[in-house]
Structure 1
Amino acid sequence: MPRHGLMTGTLDYLRRPLVANITPGMNVLIVTDTAHDPRVWQAVMSIVSELGADGTLALFDPRPADYYDPPKTVCEAMLHSDLNILLASTGMLHAHANAVAMDAGVPVICMDGGMTLEMFQSGAVTEDQKEMAIRQYWVATNIFGKDARHCRVTSKYGCDFTYSVENRIFIPNMPGDDFVAYKIQNVSKVQNRKSNMLRFLYPNGEFNIPPVEYSGSGKLVIDLCMHQIGRISSPIELTVEHGRIVEIDGGADAHFLRNYLEQYGDENAYVCPAEASVGINSKAQIRGVQREDKNILGTMHFGLGTNVDVGGTLLSNIHMDGVILEPTLYVDGDKRIENGRFLRPIDGPLG
Structure 2
Amino acid sequence: MNYLGKIRAQSSAEAIYRRRSSPQKTQKSKKIIVAGGAGFLGSHLCETLLQAGHQVVCLDNFSTGLRRNIAHLERFDTFKVIAHDIVQPFDLKVDEIYNLACPASPPHYQLDPIHTTKTCVLGSLNLLELASRTGARILQASTSEVYGDPNVHPQIESYWGNVNPFGPRSCYDEGKRCAETLFFDFHKKLQVEVKVVRIFNTYGPRMRPDDGRVVSNFIVQALTGQDITIYGDGSQTRSFCFVDDLVEGFLRMMASPPSLTGPVNLGNPGEFTIGELAEQVIGMTGSRSKIIHHPLPTDDPRQRRPDISLATQELGWRPHVDLAQGLVQTIDHFGRLLARPTRELAEAM
- Which structure shows the bigger proportion of residues in helix conformation? 2
Of structures 1 and 2, the one scoring higher in RCO (CA 8 A, sep 6+) is 2
TM-score higher than 0.5: no
- Which structure shows the bigger proportion of residues in strand conformation? 1
